[in-house]
Structure 1
């Protein structure tokens, strides 16, 4: 007979944990995506054949809740090819409805630069090249916020040159 009591107790405990889990998930509201823009780029010293840059990102939080972060990772693609990546262990808080500038050191390997160069020479020179910035603001198990921003890089038109 004691096993029947243990089963009843186990079922009751399982139901309570399930209810608590569902209640916890319902408190994780939907967030609007972060708005990311490149605010500036500064050169950094590199090693060997790599180029390094300090990319300043303007991060806007359009949500009603603050976002705590304790690290950032970022990748940059140009013309559909990876070009640069970087990480930073910066910590901070993006207050509700606020913005901040976060600096991330990015590294461009020599192979990525060569791949981009060959991609430009194989195709007809275009006035615009698509880019994608992907990354995440780390914030613990459930606090990580991913972001993705895309656009086009415009090259100035060359005028006055005749063949």
Structure 2
């Protein structure tokens, strides 16, 4: 006979509360911030343009996570120039940031026509910027995140993003 008959019920209740708390952690976590850090042209040859796009991913949470997979689309001056995926694994530290390098392959005709479009006399940009945008989904993996997909969108002036990755 049990000395404390309510003990099994209390254990079950405590386990239930613990599981409920763990499952709600994913809802309490903030979504990571994603920005274009820099763009570097690797080569333009024949009909192919290859450039490296560095995304800066910031984790505002008190738990780290890993990026397992990224799918993304790249636009320049409102014109779609590339779609790609990356399976490079990147760890994002607690309340820290990391650069995620993406290699973009595009038809050089699409790329050049988007750049020319930006510099047409009388364009809305006044020849001072090339609008650049990336949209995508990141597959996260972490203890508290579980396997979770987040969407992101980042845009900016391509002329400001050319060169080496900026300090984080």
User: TM-score normalised by the shorter chain: which range applies?
Assistant: 0.5 to 0.7
37-46 or 50-59, which moves further after superposition? 37-46
Alpha carbons of structure 1 residues 128 and 55: separation in structure 2 relative to 1, 3 Å: closer
Q: Of the candidates 155, 159, 162, which is equivalent to residue 150 of structure 1?
A: 155
Alignment correspondent of 1:15:
none
**Hey, what's the Cα distance between the residues in 2 that align with 1:43 and 1:91?**
22
Q: Which residue of 1 aligns with 2:99?
A: 101
Structure-2-length-normalised TM-score = 0.62
Structure (1/2) with the larger strand percentage: 2
- Which residue of the partner structure matches residue 36 of structure 2? 37
Asked whether the 8 Å contact 1:87–1:106 carries over to 2, the reply is no
Structure 1 CA distance for aligned equivalents of residues 44 and 121 of structure 2: 31
Task: Note the residue ranges of structure 1 that are not aligned, 5 or more in a row.
Answer: 1-18, 156-163
Judged with a 3 Å threshold, the aligned counterparts in structure 2 of structure 1 residues 66 and 59 are, in CA distance, closer, same or farther, namely same
Relative to structure 2, which stretch is displaced further, 114-123 or 142-151? Answer: 114-123
CA contact (8 A) 1:68 1:143 kept: no
- Structure number with greater CO (CA < 8 Å, separation at least 6) is 2
* 3-state SS, counterpart of residue 52 of structure 1: strand
94-103 vs 58-67, which moves further: 58-67
Larger radius of gyration: 1
How many pairs does the alignment contain? 135
How has the CA–CA distance of structure 1 residues 45 and 136 changed in structure 2, closer, same or farther, with 3 Å as cutoff? same
